[in-house]
Amino acid sequence: MDDDPSVLKSLSRTLRIRGYETKIFNSAQEFLTALPGGTPACLILDVQMPGVTGLELHHHLIKAGIHIPTIVITAHRDGVREPSQPSDIVAVLSKPLRNETLFDALGAALGPAREK
Protein backbone atom coordinates (compact mmCIF):
# COMPACT_ATOMS: atom_id res chain seq x y z
CA MET A 1 0.00 0.00 0.00
CA ASP A 2 1.21 3.45 -0.85
CA ASP A 3 -0.33 6.88 -1.09
CA ASP A 4 1.09 7.39 -4.60
CA PRO A 5 -0.57 5.30 -7.36
CA SER A 6 2.53 5.49 -9.57
CA VAL A 7 4.68 4.05 -6.76
CA LEU A 8 2.13 1.26 -6.25
CA LYS A 9 2.17 0.39 -9.93
CA SER A 10 5.96 0.47 -10.19
CA LEU A 11 6.46 -1.59 -7.03
CA SER A 12 3.91 -4.18 -8.14
CA ARG A 13 5.54 -4.45 -11.58
CA THR A 14 9.02 -4.85 -10.06
CA LEU A 15 7.81 -7.63 -7.75
CA ARG A 16 5.88 -9.47 -10.49
CA ILE A 17 8.94 -9.41 -12.77
CA ARG A 18 10.88 -11.05 -9.93
CA GLY A 19 8.18 -13.75 -9.64
CA TYR A 20 6.16 -12.50 -6.69
CA GLU A 21 2.36 -12.50 -6.75
CA THR A 22 1.07 -9.06 -5.78
CA LYS A 23 -2.18 -7.39 -4.82
CA ILE A 24 -2.51 -3.61 -4.66
CA PHE A 25 -4.60 -1.78 -2.08
CA ASN A 26 -5.08 1.98 -2.17
CA SER A 27 -5.93 2.34 1.52
CA ALA A 28 -5.86 0.51 4.82
CA GLN A 29 -9.65 0.17 4.69
CA GLU A 30 -9.48 -1.48 1.26
CA PHE A 31 -6.90 -3.95 2.61
CA LEU A 32 -8.96 -4.73 5.72
CA THR A 33 -12.06 -5.32 3.59
CA ALA A 34 -10.13 -7.88 1.50
CA LEU A 35 -8.47 -9.58 4.49
CA PRO A 36 -11.18 -12.22 5.06
CA GLY A 37 -10.28 -13.54 1.59
CA GLY A 38 -6.86 -14.61 2.86
CA THR A 39 -3.87 -13.33 4.78
CA PRO A 40 -0.89 -12.37 2.61
CA ALA A 41 2.53 -13.90 3.17
CA CYS A 42 3.97 -10.39 3.47
CA LEU A 43 2.67 -6.83 3.66
CA ILE A 44 4.49 -3.82 2.23
CA LEU A 45 3.03 -0.56 3.41
CA ASP A 46 3.80 3.13 3.36
CA VAL A 47 3.81 5.16 6.54
CA GLN A 48 1.88 8.00 4.88
CA MET A 49 -1.45 6.76 3.56
CA PRO A 50 -4.82 8.46 3.28
CA GLY A 51 -6.99 8.00 6.37
CA VAL A 52 -5.32 5.33 8.48
CA THR A 53 -1.51 5.49 8.34
CA GLY A 54 0.61 2.44 7.66
CA LEU A 55 1.76 2.21 11.26
CA GLU A 56 -1.80 2.57 12.54
CA LEU A 57 -2.81 -0.31 10.27
CA HIS A 58 0.07 -2.40 11.58
CA HIS A 59 -0.97 -1.73 15.20
CA HIS A 60 -4.60 -2.56 14.35
CA LEU A 61 -3.55 -5.92 12.88
CA ILE A 62 -1.45 -6.77 15.93
CA LYS A 63 -4.32 -5.90 18.30
CA ALA A 64 -6.61 -8.13 16.23
CA GLY A 65 -4.13 -11.01 16.53
CA ILE A 66 -3.22 -10.88 12.83
CA HIS A 67 0.52 -11.29 12.35
CA ILE A 68 1.88 -10.59 8.88
CA PRO A 69 5.58 -10.04 8.19
CA THR A 70 5.62 -6.35 7.25
CA ILE A 71 7.99 -4.11 5.32
CA VAL A 72 7.45 -0.42 6.01
CA ILE A 73 8.44 2.14 3.38
CA THR A 74 8.67 5.86 3.96
CA ALA A 75 9.86 9.05 2.33
CA HIS A 76 10.23 10.64 5.77
CA ARG A 77 12.41 8.44 7.97
CA ASP A 78 12.14 10.85 10.94
CA GLY A 79 10.26 9.19 13.77
CA VAL A 80 10.18 5.77 12.08
CA ARG A 81 12.69 3.35 13.54
CA GLU A 82 13.51 -0.30 13.18
CA PRO A 83 11.61 -2.11 15.95
CA SER A 84 13.77 -2.74 19.02
CA GLN A 85 11.55 -5.55 20.28
CA PRO A 86 10.06 -8.55 18.51
CA SER A 87 7.59 -7.35 15.92
CA ASP A 88 6.08 -8.30 12.60
CA ILE A 89 7.96 -5.36 11.07
CA VAL A 90 10.99 -6.92 9.43
CA ALA A 91 12.38 -3.78 7.75
CA VAL A 92 11.90 -0.04 7.45
CA LEU A 93 13.03 1.16 4.03
CA SER A 94 13.50 4.70 2.79
CA LYS A 95 12.23 5.97 -0.55
CA PRO A 96 13.40 5.89 -3.21
CA LEU A 97 13.59 2.12 -2.85
CA ARG A 98 16.54 0.20 -4.21
CA ASN A 99 15.42 -3.11 -5.70
CA GLU A 100 18.10 -5.20 -4.00
CA THR A 101 17.29 -3.68 -0.60
CA LEU A 102 13.63 -4.50 -1.15
CA PHE A 103 14.41 -8.07 -2.25
CA ASP A 104 16.65 -8.56 0.80
CA ALA A 105 13.80 -7.40 3.05
CA LEU A 106 11.40 -9.75 1.26
CA GLY A 107 13.83 -12.61 1.84
CA ALA A 108 13.87 -11.78 5.55
CA ALA A 109 10.07 -11.48 5.65
CA LEU A 110 9.34 -14.69 3.79
CA GLY A 111 12.19 -16.77 5.17
CA PRO A 112 14.67 -18.88 3.24
CA ALA A 113 12.11 -21.49 2.21
CA ARG A 114 9.91 -18.88 0.50
CA GLU A 115 12.51 -16.65 -1.15
CA LYS A 116 12.26 -16.20 -4.90
∠21-27-28 over CA atoms, to 5°?
90
In the predicted structure, residue 114 carries a pLDDT above the cut 70: no
pLDDT band at 87, cuts 50/70/90? confident
Of 79 and 38, the structure prediction assigns the larger pLDDT to 38
Which DSSP helix (H) or strand (E) runs through 101? helix 99-110
Which DSSP helix (H) or strand (E) runs through 94? strand 89-94
In the predicted structure, residue 96 carries a pLDDT above the cut 90: no
Predicted TM-score (pTM) of the model is 0.85
What is the C-alpha to C-alpha distance for residues 87 and 21, in angstroms, rounded to an integer? Answer: 24
Task: Please name each of the domains of the chain with its CATH number.
Answer: 5-110 (3.40.50.2300)
pLDDT band at 116, cuts 50/70/90? very low
Q: What is the 3-state secondary structure (H, E, C) of 43-93?
A: EEEECCCCCCCHHHHHHHHHHCCCCCCEEEEECCCCCCCCCCCCCCEEEEE
Residue 113 neighbours by CB under 8 Å, 6+ apart: none
In the predicted structure, residue 2 carries a pLDDT above the cut 70: no
In the predicted structure, residue 35 carries a pLDDT above the cut 50: yes
SS3 16: helix
Lowest mean pLDDT, pick from 12-16, 24-28, 40-44, 112-116: 112-116
